[in-house]
Amino acid sequence: MRRLGPLAVLGGATGAFLLLVTPARTFELIAPWLIAMAALLLARPPSGRVHGEHGVAARVALFAVTIYVGYFGAAGGILLFAVLAAMMHHPAPKLNAMKNVLSGLANAVAALGFAVFGPVDWAAAAPLAAGFLLGGWLGPKIARRLPGHSLRYLAAVCGLAVAIKLGWDAYSR
């Protein structure tokens, strides 16, 4: 986490910057495809360590996903889980814990950037924070109890559902 954490912070800051300076519509059109690709990546059988945490391609992928997390966030956990699963061969609960830390770092720096430089609906922030805290508390408890690769497949199905919903919303306008 010490090696990957700073990359997540930099990616989250970059994503927040991009959100503040680019039109949202362009990303709305791309997001469903990114999420669907990550979900499909999760659904494939694990093939062991593809790139390793020290590989350049793996670090670029992690940086790109944390940009996404800082910019948009929806299903960012699925994307992070997919990248981590491709980078290293660890059990799903460990990958899930790593995903939570990296996502938390990227989101924290992005939230700080939005609070300082962007318009924030503070009335919506409290219920969102409560939901994130509850999910962060319950998620690991559930993940540790799921058998085998069921977490991987459950995340893939949820990711495809999110991609379909976001695609429908973005392209039905």
pLDDT tens digits for range 102-129: 999 999 999 999 999 988 888 998 898 8
Contacts of 86 (CB under 8 A, 6+ apart): 41, 50, 51, 58, 61
Tell me: pLDDT of 48 over 80.
Answer: no
Tell me: pLDDT of 137 over 90.
Answer: no
- Global confidence as pTM: 0.71
Q: Burial level of 145, CB count in 10 A (0-12/13-18/19+)?
A: exposed
Q: Which domain holds residue 123?
A: 5-171
Domain count, the chain: 1
How far separated are the first and last CA of the chain, in Å rounded?
A: 41
pLDDT band at 75 (very low <50, low <70, confident <90, very high): confident
Percentage of the chain lying above the pLDDT 90 cut: 35
For 75, the token pair is: 């299903």
Average pLDDT, the chain: 86
CA 116 – CA 102 distance, rounded (Å): 22
